[in-house]
A = this chain, B = another copy of it.
Amino acid sequence: MTDDVAQAVSGGERAGRRRERRAQATRGGGPRQLSFAQVPNGYRPIEVMSADQIEAIHLASLKVLAEIGIEVMHEESRGRLKAAGADVDEGTHRVRFDPALVEEKIRTIPGSFRMRARNRAYDIEIGGNQMIFAATGGPAFAHDLDRGRRPGNYADMCDYIRLVQSLNVIHQEGGCPVEPTDLPAETRHLDFYQAALTLTDKTWQCWALGAYRVEDALNMIGIVYGLRREQMAEQPVTLTVINSNSPLKLDIPMGEALTAMSKAGQPIALTPFTLSGAMSPVTIAGALTQQNAEALAMMTLTQIVRAGAPVLYGGFTSNVDMRTGSPAFGTPEYTKAALASGQLARRYGVPFRSSNVNASNCVDVQAAYESGMSLWGSIMGGVNLIEHAAGWLEGGLTASFEKLVLDAEMLQMMREFLRPIAVDADELAVETIAEVGPGGHFFGTGHTLARFEHAFYEPMLSDWRNFETWSESGAKTGTERANAIWKDLLKTYQQPELDPALAEALADYVARRKIEINRGDY
Contact = CB atoms under 8 A, between A and B. Distances in A.
Interface of A: 1-3, 5-7, 43-44, 46-53, 56-57, 60, 63-64, 67-71, 94, 149, 245, 247-249, 276-286, 288-290, 293, 319-328, 331-333, 335-336, 340, 359-373, 376, 380, 394, 397-398, 406, 409-410, 413-414, 416-417, 419-424, 426-430, 432-434, 436-443, 447-448, 451-453, 455-459, 461-467, 470-471, 475, 477-479, 482
13 contacts: A57-B423, A247-B433, A249-B438, A277-B443, A277-B455, A283-B422, A284-B427, A286-B433, A290-B433, A336-B417, A361-B466, A365-B482, A369-B371
A470 to B, nearest CB: 5
Complex copy number for this chain? 2
Contacts of A364: 364-365, 477-479
The 6 closest A-B pairs by CB, nearest first: A286-B429, A372-B372, A332-B416, A368-B368, A71-B438, A281-B429
Given A427-B285, A447-B282, A478-B366, A464 B322 contact: no
A321 to B, nearest CB: 5
Contacts of A365: 363-365, 367-368, 406, 461, 477-479, 482
Contact of A456 (B285, B325, B333, B463): B333
Contacts of A67: 430, 434
Instruction: Please classify the interface of chain A as helix (H, G, I), strand (E, B), loop, or mixed, using the class held by over half of its residues.
Output: mixed
A200 to B, nearest CB: 26
B60 A428 contact: yes
A282 B47 contact: no
Q: Which of A248, A368, A428 neighbours the largest number of chain B CB atoms within 10 Å of its CB?
A: A428
A360 B307 CA distance: 52
B332 A457 contact: yes
Contact of A282 (B282, B359, B455): B455
Nearest to A456: B319
A151 to B, nearest CB: 13
A383 to B, nearest CB: 15
A451 to B, nearest CB: 5
Contacts of A413: 331-332, 369, 373
Contact of A439 (B247, B277, B323): B247
A421 B285 CA distance: 7
Contacts of A290: 433
Contact of A277 (B281, B380, B448): B448
A360 to B, nearest CB: 7
A372 B278 CA distance: 29
Contacts of A50: 1-3, 5-7
A413 B320 CA distance: 15
Contacts of A441: 247, 278-279
B421 A463 contact: no
A277 B456 contact: yes
B282 A452 contact: yes
Contacts of A3: 50-52
Q: Which of A362, A422, A458 neighbours the largest number of chain B CB atoms within 10 Å of its CB?
A: A362
Contacts of A279: 441-442
Contacts of A370: 462
Contact of A360 (B427, B447, B463): B463
Contacts of A376: 372, 376
B432 A277 contact: no
Given A286-B433, A336-B421, A439 B248 contact: yes
A324 B464 contact: yes
A259 B51 CA distance: 48
Contacts of A322: 452-453, 455-456
Contacts of A465: 324, 326, 361
Contacts of A424: 285
Contacts of A463: 360-361, 366
